[in-house]
Every structure is written in C-alpha cells, then in structure tokens.
Amino acid sequence: MKKLMDNLLVKIVAVMIFVSCVVASAFGSAGLLMLDANNYMGKNYDAISKETYGNVARCYAAGILGDVTYDGELNGSYDCDPELKYVILKTSDKLDIADLNKGIFDNGDVMYGSLDGMEVSGVLCAQEGWEVMTYASRMPVYHGFIEYRASEDVTYYEIDTAMDHMDDNADKYYILYAIDHGATEGSIFDEAHSCAAALAWCSKYAVALIIFTFLTGLALFVFLMAASKKTLSFDNKIPYIILFGLTAGVEMILIACVGAVFEASLYFPAAVMLSLMFIGLGALVFVYFCMNTATRIKAHSFMRYTLLHYIMLPLRSLIGNMNENLSLTVKAVIFCGALGIVQLLGLVFFHADYRFGLFLFVIYKLIELSVLIWVVMQFDRVKKGMAMVASGNTDASIDTSHMLPAFKSHAADITNVSEGINKAVEERMKSERMKTELITNVSHDIKTPLTSIINYVDLMEKHGTDDPEMQEYLEVLDRQSDRLKKLIEDLIEASKASSGAIEMQIEPVNVSVLLSQVEGEFEEKLKKKELIPVVTVPEEEQTIKADGRYLWRVIDNLMSNICKYTMPNTRVYVDLISKGDTSEISFKNISATELNISAEELTERFVRGDKSRNTEGSGLGLSIAKSLTEHMGGTMDIHIDGDLFKVTLTFPKV
C-alpha cells in the first residue's frame, strides 16, 4: 500500500477518477433536481418529452402569433414543417378555446397553415395591434415566459389572460399547433429531445449513480489525503489564508461560469458539457487544496503558515523580550499608567471647564517636551561615547552625571568595554613584543655558531681535498649554511620591520635611476630562469620620499621572488608610472604554479606561493617588503588574476 501511495502515476489516476466521480455525481444530482422541480419524477421518456416538446412548440407558436398581430400579415419564414404544424385563424369574434383544442374552428377564417389531420397540441390567441413578447429558455424543461401588451399600454399581461382583455370590435388571431413527438435530431425539438432523454436516464439511474460515485469518490478522497506528501514544498509555504482565499475565489468564479453558461442560451448539450467541465475544474482545485492542507498537517507545519501564526509571531517575540527585560517592562507599564491617569484627569478638567483644562494641557505639554529633550540629550551623550569607542578612541569615557539609571548603566558598560579593549590591546602588544624579542634573541644565538660553521667550511675549501665525494659534501655544507644565514637575517629583519625597530632616513630618492639598475643587477638570475625583463622608465626622472637602502631591499625581495616563482620563457614587467603627487612601481610576472591563495595571505609571515615548498625561500620576503614600504610612508598592493601576479608600490613624490 505504501508503494501505491508513493507512486505519482497512481496519485494522478486517483485524482482523475475522483474528479470524474464528482462530475458524474453533479450530473445525477442536477437531473434529480430538475425532475423534482418539474414533477417529472418517475416518468419515462415519452411523458417527459411531451412536456419538453410542448414548451418548445408553445414558444415557437407565440413568435409566429406576435408576427401576425403586428400588422395582420405573416412576415417571417418559419421552417418547422413537418415536426410542428400550425394554423392561424382570423376572426372578429371570440372563439371557444375548448373547441379549438378539439380541432373545431369552423367560425374562424384560416389565414395560414394546415394541421393535416394532426391532433391539436395547444392554442394561443391575441388581437391585432398587440405586441407579443417571448422570453424562451434554452432549457426545454422550463416554460417560456410569454407576455403581451397593447401598443399604447405600458402594462404587460401573461398570454393566458388574452381572452379577458380582447376588444369586441378588433380583429382577433388564434394559432393552433400540432406536434410530431417522433421528431428528434435536426428538428426544432432537437434540444427538447436531448433534455428529455437525459432526464429519463436520470429518472432511472441517477440515484444509483450518485450513491456509487459518492462512495467511490469518498474512498479516493481518503486515499489521496493519506497519500499526500509529508515534506513541504513551495506551494505548501504559501500563507494558508491566501491559499484559502485563492481556492474560494476560483471556486466562486467556476460556479459563476456554470450560471453564465445557462444564462447565455447556449445549445443544451453544449451547456451541459461546459457546466460539467467547470464542475470538474472545481473538483480538481478542491482536491489540490485538501491535499495541500493534509501535507501541512502531516509535516506538523499547519499553524506555521497561517494568519494566526504571523499575528502571534511578533506578539510571542514581544512577550519573550518583556520577560527578558521584566524590570524595564514594569517601569514602562508604570510610566504609561501614570501618563494615562494624568491625561484622564486632564480630560475631566477639560470637561468641567475647558479654559482651565486647556491651561493644564499646555502646562502638561511643556513638561512633556522638557522631559523628552532631557531624555534625548542623555541618549545623545551615550551615542557619542559609543561612536568614540567605535572609532578607536579606547580612552573615551561618558559623563554619567544626572543620568537616568538605565542610561547610566549603559554608559558604564560602554566605559568598561573601552577599558577592556585597552587592556586587550596592551596584552596583544606585549605578546607581539615578546615574540619579536624571542625571534631576535634566538636568531642571534643561532647566528654565532652558524658563523663558526661557515668559517670552518671556508677553511676546509681553501685547504682543498682530492676526494670528489668529500668535495661534494663541502659544497652542500656551504650552500645550506648560506641559506640558513639568509633565513636568520630575514627573521631578524622581519622582526625589526614588524615591531618598527628600524631607523629610517627618509630623503629624496631618484627612483628612475634605481629601477634602471634592476636589469643589470638581476641579469644572471633572470637568464638562469630564461626570463625576459621588460623595464619601462619614463624619460622624465621621478624623485620620491623614501630610504634608498631599504627601498632597494624591497625591490631586491620582489625581484628575488620573481626569479624563484616565475614560469620560464615568459616576460617580467617592471614599470614606473607617474600619477599626480605619487609614483607607482609595478612588478608583473606569470606564476609557474597555480596561485590558490589570496593576496592578504601572501603578505603574512612564512607563507609561500609554492605550497609544495620545493623552491628555496623563507616565506618572509613579501612580509618584509610590505612592512618596510609602510615604514617609509608608502603602500604595497598585491593583485592576483589567475596566474598573473602583480605588486604595486606607491610612494609620495618630493
């Protein structure tokens, strides 16, 4: 059973059968209502068709009679033979309707038509000059509404009262009509036949049909409710009041469409089919609404998307906040209560004597304005103190004199935050100083024995050896000791740069000349990596404010990085650009490895672009370059675009 409930195709088939059951039940119910309303219950086709054919024939005959009474002539063409025979009589005297119904009309002159021996089915009469109006329904079970009036009269009368209002001196017209009850499709009784056949069928089978479709539909409805999903989707999260409103609106529109179909005087079978189609759509909308509701209930989320939930949500939040701030809530209630009492007293005084009441109202408003200004000023003091702390002024304090207790407590908390920040900053600075001192001391301690190692390796190389293997060992010792020495120097310099323990001699530096030396200084390293330098320096010399020695150290670090990490057989660009009051030095190269790292991370200590660490380097070069640049009053920006690596140094011009 669970598999059936989870099968989408089974659900679709069940919905279609349910809709069919609703449509069939509606058809049977409508048929029973029509049978009961017209006293056709229990009658067969012949009895019902006699009535429906008679209704159609009566309206048709009234139309012919109205044509004749208009001017005494039959102007229209009425193609109803042989299913409807009629005779039009003209006389100046009133004729006996009972005799006419028996087919006796010897006292009248036959103007048009012939019954050809057929039995008279009905008689209508009117006199010349009368206006006969026919309001015929396309539902053959209903009698058409036929009225008449004299040309100068505004009052309408039913056609059955015509004999009571006839003038003795006027010409009178009688139409006798006979019906062929065997006429069906293709005749004027086509719709009457369809209606009679449908009602005769309903008379026999409607009750059984309704019982069967009701039970089947009920079982399918229960199945669909049980098979509705348990997880919410988009349509299950629509506020329930909106879903209910849309469903009710659609159902009302469909009901109106059913009514409009029969008001539009459509062909009877077409009207029935259209009505059943609208009923089917209504059933489909209804079952969707019910399944949507069942899903919400199963997911325990019915109340979550109701209007009551959206009303209760802010209310529940308000109550929760009031509980959390009970003291403040009590104060607010007391304040509002006192304020209400004052306002109520003001109303009493105003009612007793409006002049005195108006005076008290002005006094009350002045006091209210003064208190409001006082509260706003206290709030502004707290706000300004908070802004000072947020801007980095950790020594800021707030004057809490003459403050309300709530504002005073808040201001004290802000002051405590400021003191806490000060303490945290001091602890952080102390920690940084200790780290710097540790690195510097350890580096110096390592440097002393390293110097001895380098010196002894140098002595051993000078004495020489005939053993090739021993010579190779010496070369490795020499290379690695130099690398370790460079690392220690970088550590010391990085420590000094980050702590600011460097004495800078800021002076005018001709950066154009400095960059012109780059190509020559790094020619050997660049050739070794098969790199092509492209140095662009404007003809006009540019002088910046910097320390020449440390500026060259920055350039040396950047060019060393380029030589280590650039893809072979590519160009390296070094450009000097003048931008207003500043000069920009940019270095661009293509990385040999993928740069899956941010620009900010690259400037941190011991971080290298080559994460595999297959190349030489300490990961301190960019960090040292950035610290030195900033100590000289410049900025260093790194931009990474795919494999393109770009560093821009910006310094103020002299």
Backbone angles phi, psi at 646, to 5 degrees: -135, 130
540-568 burial: b if 16+ Cβ within 10 Å, else e = eebbbbbbbebbbbbbebbbbbbbbbbee
Cβ partners under 8 Å of residue 77, min gap 6:
none
pLDDT digits (tens, 9 = 90+) for 96-126: 888 888 888 877 788 888 888 888 999 999 9
Residue pointed to by tokens 């007293």: 345
Q: Spelled out in words, what is the top-level CATH class assigned to the domain 419-501?
A: mainly alpha
CB 513 within 8 A of CB 622: no
pLDDT on residue 1: 66
Query: CA–CA separation, 597 vs 619, rounded Å?
Result: 13
Query: CA–CA separation, 180 vs 192, rounded Å?
Result: 12
Q: Which CATH superfamily is domain 503-652 in?
A: Histidine kinase-like ATPase, C-terminal domain (3.30.565.10)
Query: CA–CA separation, 613 vs 609, rounded Å?
Result: 9
Closest CA to 83 of 178, 196, 192, 193: 178
CB 51 within 8 A of CB 141: yes
CA distances to 34, 56, 188, 398, 576 from 181, in Å: 21, 12, 11, 106, 110
pLDDT on residue 652: 92
Query: CA–CA separation, 245 vs 115, rounded Å?
Result: 60
Query: CA–CA separation, 345 vs 329, rounded Å?
Result: 24
Cβ partners under 8 Å of residue 468, min gap 6:
none
Question: Which tokens sit at 600?
Answer: 């900010």
Closest CA to 118 of 62, 80, 168, 153: 80
* 532: Cα separation from own chain's centroid: 56
* 8: Cα separation from own chain's centroid: 27
* 312: Cα separation from own chain's centroid: 23
Query: CA–CA separation, 508 vs 495, rounded Å?
Result: 26
Domain limits, CATH 1.10.287, in the chain: 419-501
pLDDT on residue 605: 47
pLDDT on residue 587: 93
Under DSSP, is residue 640 helix (H, G, I), strand (E, B) or coil? strand
Q: Is the dihedral of CA 541, 542, 545, 550 positive or negative?
A: negative
Question: Which tokens sit at 502?
Answer: 């460097």
Closest CA to 105 of 198, 10, 16, 173: 173
Question: Which tokens sit at 632?
Answer: 């000289």
End-to-end CA gap in the chain: 88
Domain limits, CATH 3.30.565.10, in the chain: 503-652
pTM: 0.48
CA distances to 59, 93, 508, 552, 589 from 518, in Å: 113, 135, 19, 9, 15
pLDDT on residue 284: 94
Under DSSP, is residue 620 helix (H, G, I), strand (E, B) or coil? coil
The segments of the chain whose pLDDT lies below 50 read 605-606, 608-609, 611-615
Angle (deg, nearest 10), helices 548-565 and 621-631:
150
* 77: Cα separation from own chain's centroid: 63
